[in-house]
Amino acid sequence: KGHMHRRVLGCLYSSLHTLTKHHHSLSSKSLFTRPSSSSIFRSMSTSTTFKFAACQLLVSDDKQANLDNARKAIDEASSNGAKVISLPECFNCPYSNASFPEYAEEALTGPSSQMLSDAAKRNQVYLIGGSIPEKEGDNIYNTCLIYGPDGGLLGKHRKIHLFDIDVPGKIKFKESDTLSPGNTQTIIDTEFCKIGIAICYDIRFPELALLYNQKGAKFLVYPGAFNMTTGPAHWELLQRGRAVDNQLYVAAVSPARNPASSYQAWGHSTVVSPWGDVIATTEEKPGIIYADIDLKKVDEMRTNIPTSQQKRKDLYNVIEV
């Protein structure tokens, strides 16, 4: 019996020793072997949650300073874990009809597009480049350039609906004095979801958001610059409306308010959930806001309140022309 007892103990010790060595091997690999950044990025490709950052930038009349400021904000947002980052409308120049022709550049060869591409690649993020005045031939467009983690161009959205309004005694602005309208919808594919892109005044047109929804978008991003008249009244209201109408996330990204500017931006960059809740916002000063975009909440909302399946297409329909 004693002999058998020693043999059993010996086998147990040998097995325990082997398991311990295997455990230390696995622990050392997981604790001290750092995977490459590219493998980290690939490992997130099946995630249903990602961090979004909206950079509310103070814009001056110094174009290079504006680009430097944007680059720093992108780097900061990335360092804080954001995988999708958006800049505001007209992040590289003042918002004015006088400025649009002066600051306009060709979309893919100018300094703004080069900065955006480099920043997206360096940080391995999806970068929604707010908007810049884009020059093509005799036309100038209010254009958003979107870049992927490899620095490649994913999409280009030219503002479809131009901001031509006249509210007596409060504000009058006519973008069409200098800008031309875009004619295409813009949806980008990411490993997280499809994201619909539009600019500022585009948010007032629910048909565009509905078409993005019908094409599979779960997140809409609007770089925008509402003013001190329309901002307090409609900025948040329109975001919540588009979010609830389409049961998806909506973000609107504004410049910070610059007291020295002729056009006073409302600020208040905001992210809204599919339920219509404001999940991130700020005031008028420069800063970065963050929101965790949980795509399961989009699916949950669409399952619990299935409005997309209940539409009376025998009575009405929104179609692409």
> Minimal CA–CA distance to 154: which of 183, 111, 194?
194
How many Å is the Cα radius of gyration of the chain? 25
pLDDT > 90 in the chain, percent: 85
What does the alpha-carbon distance between residue 133 and residue 91 come to, in Å, rounded to a whole number?
10
Q: What is the pLDDT of residue 80?
A: 98
Output the pTM of the full model: 0.85
Catalytic member of 83, 135, 159, 297: 159
Q: Which residues of 246-262 are buried (b: 16+ CB within 10 A; e: fewer)?
A: bbbbbbbbbbbbbeebe
Q: What is the pLDDT of residue 47?
A: 81
pLDDT per position as a tens digit, 189-221:
999 999 999 999 999 999 999 999 999 999 999
Of residues 28 and 300, which shows the higher confidence score? 300
Catalytic member of 55, 93, 193, 200: 200
pLDDT > 70 in the chain, percent: 86
Average confidence (pLDDT) over 122-151: 98
- Please check the confidence at residue 252 and state whether its pLDDT lies above 90: yes
Q: Which of helix, strand or coil describes residue 277?
A: coil
What does the alpha-carbon distance between residue 168 and residue 80 come to, in Å, rounded to a whole number?
44
Average confidence (pLDDT) over 10-35: 38
Average confidence (pLDDT) over 282-310: 97
pLDDT per position as a tens digit, 70-80:
999 999 999 99
Q: What is the pLDDT of residue 3?
A: 47
What does the alpha-carbon distance between residue 283 and residue 279 come to, in Å, rounded to a whole number?
14
Q: Are 186 and 194 in contact (CB under 8 A)?
A: no
Instruction: Identify whether 200 is a catalytic site residue.
Output: yes
- Give φ, ψ of 43 to 5 degrees: -65, -20
- Segments of 82-170 assigned E as strands: 84-86, 126-128, 132-136, 139-147, 153-158, 164-167
- Other CB atoms within a 10 A radius of the CB of residue 187 amount to 17
Q: Are 205 and 179 in contact (CB under 8 A)?
A: no
Average pLDDT, the chain: 89
Task: Using CB atoms within 10 Å of the CB of residue 104, give its burial: 0 to 12 exposed, 13 to 18 middle, 19+ buried.
Answer: buried
**DSSP structural state of residue 203:** G
Residue 177, token pair as written in the block: 């004095």
Q: DSSP string spanning 215-259?
A: TTEEEEEEE---BTTHIIIIIHHHHHHHHHHHTSEEEEE-PPP-T
Instruction: Identify whether 89 is a catalytic site residue.
Output: yes
Confidence class for position 116, pLDDT limits 50, 70, 90: very high
Of residues 39 and 226, which shows the higher confidence score? 226
Pairing of strands 270-272, 186-189: unpaired
